[in-house]
Each structure stands twice: as structure tokens, then as C-alpha cells.
């Protein structure tokens, strides 16, 4: 695991100014310094339209990084943060529960994602929203399992409710819990709940859900939840981007992100990514033609993927850093202009461990060759 601040410093000289201005870099680094060595990768989020320079920070914490986040080793900076801010105490409490075999979260939660809003660097203690990735048992995903039980009685749903209680510091309001249950119950065959988030950095510490559903069911799913005002626009967007995104078939899955309160929030996020890396140019150029992305940001994003050799601060050896584009998100709402955000980042790896892995793969390949 790495310190997020080290990952940001390693990538700083590679970050294109068209996507991340010098001022935004300073803010990101201030946010990253808050965390101990808990991260597998670090990501950046920016709006692709002109005249929007804010950049949010994301930190991916896998299961093997939770021990740093539970603060049992008492990282001095995290100690101070936990002492002063109750929301951070709840994050540490969640990390400890995550590592408790009796909680069942070791199996249910493969990783979490801490998302810091750009304006968090101006606060005395930055607070992240916490996105919790969910794994599901095969029986829970099967048609037979879905017909036998309601999600309200399934272990997975109850664990989600408990995760949110821990992170928010109080149980869900009955109306919100009822709406969340509807969101789970309405997931069609072939769909799955991907993430649940406690938006700790936002007023009211709201709930956000990410679901993946077959493209043909995306609009009916939201309609069943009572989100109808923007359905026509969403249907048009899905049809328009199907040819350059990875949901070109009616059974291809579409990821939808939305807030869950008494009702589903007015804004819906639709994940856009091509079927292969070679498709990024066509997707981004389509967005440029629709004035949702500038040409400069498109070119900077297309130039971002690759590998660099770096020497992190305080490291005993150099590292190999993967530069990747994760996805884009189209945010749409009724009677509001759509916006598109880009999510890209870095994953540093020890050069020595990378070489060992390459040698191991080479040995395995030679052994397979002998067997063949």
C-alpha cells in the first residue's frame, strides 16, 4: 500500500495542465496528505467542459489496506484528525468492522473509495464521501434466489443498512430506508447493486447508489422508482452514446448513479466507457462535437494512459506507475444542461516487485510451454 500523497507527488509532473491546473494540484496534495499508507491507487475527477477547473480526489482502499485506515497503529496525523472530527471517527469504526471476521464484510466488501471534493482542501479537516463496493453471492444474483426472497430480508441488504448506519452515525430515516429497499427490490434480472455511498462531505450525509442494469431495463428501472421527469432525455442519451460506449446491445449493462432520499435524486449519472481502449478517441470526439468536452481536455485525456518510472518520496527503490482512464460520467437531469466528468488516475507499483512478477510469469509461461 502507498500513501496517497506519495502517489500524487509521483504523478504531479505528468498531470496535464488542461485537466489539472497548478492550483488544483496544490489542493489535491493538501487533501492527500491527510491519509496513511492505505491506498492501492489514486484518482482524479474533473469536468470536461470549458471554464471548470475544479478537480476532486479519489483514493481506492482495498481490503488489504483497511488495517492502515482502522488506525490501530496510531498514525499521528490520523490520530489528530479522528480526535477532532466525529465523521472521521465513524470512518475508522467502519474500517475496524470491515476487518472483523464476524461482521461478514470481509466477503461482502472488496474495497472502498474515499472521494474528497475539491473545496475540501479549504476546510480545517477535509471529509471524504465513502463509496463501499459490494460483492454478491451467486445465489443472491440468480433468478431463483431473487424470486425466493425479498432484498429486505437478504443478508446483503441488511449489511448495507448497517454500513450506512456506521458511516452516518445514525439509522436511516424510515422513508429513506423504504426508498432504498425499493431500489434494491426493483433491480431487474441481469442487474446488480455495485456501490453504496455515505456522502459525508455533503449536507445531510446523504446516500448514493450505483447499480448496473441491462440497457433495455435502465429507463423502466428508474421509472419504477418514480424518477420520470428526465426519462425522455435519458432514453435519448442512451441511444446516442450506445455506438461509442460499451452498452451498444440491449443486454449490455449500464451503470447508473443516483442519490437516494425520500425520492430518487433529480440527477442521474451514466457511466460512459468504450468497449476497448482504442475507442476512447471516438467517444471523446463525440463529446467534443456536442460541446460537452473541450478539444484540449480530450487531447490531454487521450495522452494520459501509459507507464512511467518514478522515485516516490522516501522510497527505497523506484516504482512503475500505471496511468489509466477509468471512465467518464454523463450527468443528466430534467431541464438542465448535461455535463460530463472524467475519472482518471495512477497506480504506483514497486519496480522490484514488478520485475519479480514478470519473472514469475515468464517462468510459468516456460513451464506451460514444456507441458504443451
Per residue in 307-365, pLDDT tens?
Answer: 998 776 666 677 889 999 999 999 998 888 899 999 999 998 877 655 555 555 454 43
Dist CA 372 CA 364 (whole Å): 12
Per residue in 86-128, pLDDT tens?
Answer: 999 999 999 999 999 999 898 899 999 999 998 765 678 899 9
Q: For cell 463525440, what's the residue?
A: 286
β-strands 55-62, 41-47 pairing: antiparallel
DSSP assignment letter at 263? S
Per residue in 181-237, pLDDT tens?
Answer: 999 999 999 999 999 999 998 888 899 999 999 999 999 999 999 998 899 999 999
Dist CA 160 CA 337 (whole Å): 33
pLDDT at residue 369 greater than cutoff 80: no
In percent, the amount of the chain with pLDDT more than 90 equals: 72
- Mean pLDDT on 291-319: 87
Picking from 78, 76, 120, 116, the residue whose alpha carbon sits closest to that of residue 96 is 78
| Whole-structure pTM value | 0.90
pLDDT attached to residue 152: 57
Dist CA 137 CA 329 (whole Å): 28
pLDDT classification of 161: cutoffs 50, 70, 90: very high
- Mean pLDDT on 15-30: 94
Quickly list DSSP for 94-124. Answer: HHHHHT-GGGSHHHH-SEEEEEE-GGGGGSS
pLDDT attached to residue 326: 98
Dist CA 346 CA 326 (whole Å): 10
pLDDT at residue 368 greater than cutoff 50: no
Beta bridge partners of 58: 43, 115
b/e map 13-31, b = 16+ CB within 10 Å: eebeebbbbeebbebbbbb
pLDDT classification of 144: cutoffs 50, 70, 90: very low
pLDDT at residue 242 greater than cutoff 90: yes
Number of domains within the chain: 1
Quickly list DSSP for 8-23. Answer: HHHHHTTS-TTTS-HH
pLDDT attached to residue 354: 55
pLDDT attached to residue 147: 44
pLDDT classification of 372: cutoffs 50, 70, 90: very low
pLDDT attached to residue 138: 65
Average model confidence (pLDDT) across the chain: 88
* Range(s) of the domain holding residue 289: 4-371
pLDDT attached to residue 74: 87
pLDDT attached to residue 59: 98
Amino acid at each position: 500500500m502507498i500513501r496517497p500523497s506519495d502517489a500524487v507527488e509521483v504523478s504531479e509532473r505528468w498531470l496535464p495542465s488542461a485537466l489539472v491546473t497548478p492550483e488544483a494540484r496544490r489542493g489535491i496534495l493538501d487533501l492527500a496528505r491527510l491519509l496513511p499508507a492505505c491506498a492501492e491507487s489514486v484518482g482524479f475527477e474533473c469536468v470536461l467542459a470549458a471554464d471548470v477547473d475544479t478537480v476532486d480526489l479519489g483514493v481506492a482502499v482495498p481490503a488489504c489496506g483497511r488495517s492502515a485506515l482502522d488506525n490501530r497503529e496510531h498514525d499521528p496525523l490520523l490520530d489528530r484528525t479522528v480526535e477532532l472530527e466525529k465523521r472521521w471517527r465513524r470512518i475508522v469504526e467502519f474500517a475496524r468492522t470491515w476487518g472483523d471476521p464476524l461482521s461478514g464484510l470481509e466477503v461482502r466488501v472488496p474495497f472502498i473509495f474515499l472521494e474528497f471534493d475539491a473545496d475540501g482542501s479549504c476546510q480545517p479537516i477535509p471529509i471524504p464521501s465513502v463509496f463501499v463496493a459490494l460483492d454478491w453471492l451467486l445465489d443472491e444474483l440468480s433468478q431463483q434466489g431473487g424470486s425466493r426472497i425479498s432484498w429486505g430480508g437478504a443478508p446483503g441488504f441488511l449489511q448495507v443498512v448497517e454500513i450506512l448506519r456506521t458511516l452516518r452515525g445514525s439509522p436511516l430515516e424510515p422513508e429513506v430506508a423504504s426508498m432504498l429497499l425499493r431500489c434494491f427490490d426493483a433491480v431487474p434480472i441481469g442487474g446488480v447493486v455495485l456501490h453504496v455511498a455515505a456522502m459525508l462531505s455533503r449536507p445531510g450525509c446523504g446516500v448514493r447508489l450505483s447499480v448496473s442494469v441491462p440497457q433495455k431495463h435502465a429507463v423502466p428501472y428508474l421509472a419504477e422508482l418514480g424518477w420520470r421527469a428526465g426519462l425522455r432525455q435519458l432514453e435519448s442519451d442512451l441511444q446516442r452514446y450506445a455506438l461509442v460506449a460499451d452498452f451498444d446491445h440491449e443486454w449490455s449493462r449500464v451503470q447508473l448513479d443516483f442519490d437516494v432520499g425520500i425520492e430518487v435524486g433529480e440527477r442521474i449519472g451514466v457511466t460512459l466507457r468504450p468497449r476497448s481502449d482504442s475507442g476512447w478517441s471516438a467517444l471523446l470526439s463525440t463529446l467534443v462535437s456536442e460541446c460537452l468536452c473541450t478539444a484540449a481536455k480530450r487531447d490531454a485525456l487521450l495522452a494520459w494512459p501509459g507507464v512511467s518510472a518514478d522515485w516516490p518520496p522516501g522510497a527505497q527503490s523506484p516504482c512503475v506507475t500505471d496511468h489509466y482512464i477509468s471512465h467518464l460520467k454523463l450527468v443528466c437531469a430534467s431541464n438542465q444542461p448535461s455535463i460530463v466528468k472524467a475519472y482518471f488516475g495512477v497506480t504506483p507499483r514497486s519496480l522490484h516487485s514488478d520485475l519479480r512478477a514478470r519473472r514469475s510469469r515468464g517462468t510459468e509461461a516456460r513451464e506451460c510451454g514444456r507441458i504443451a
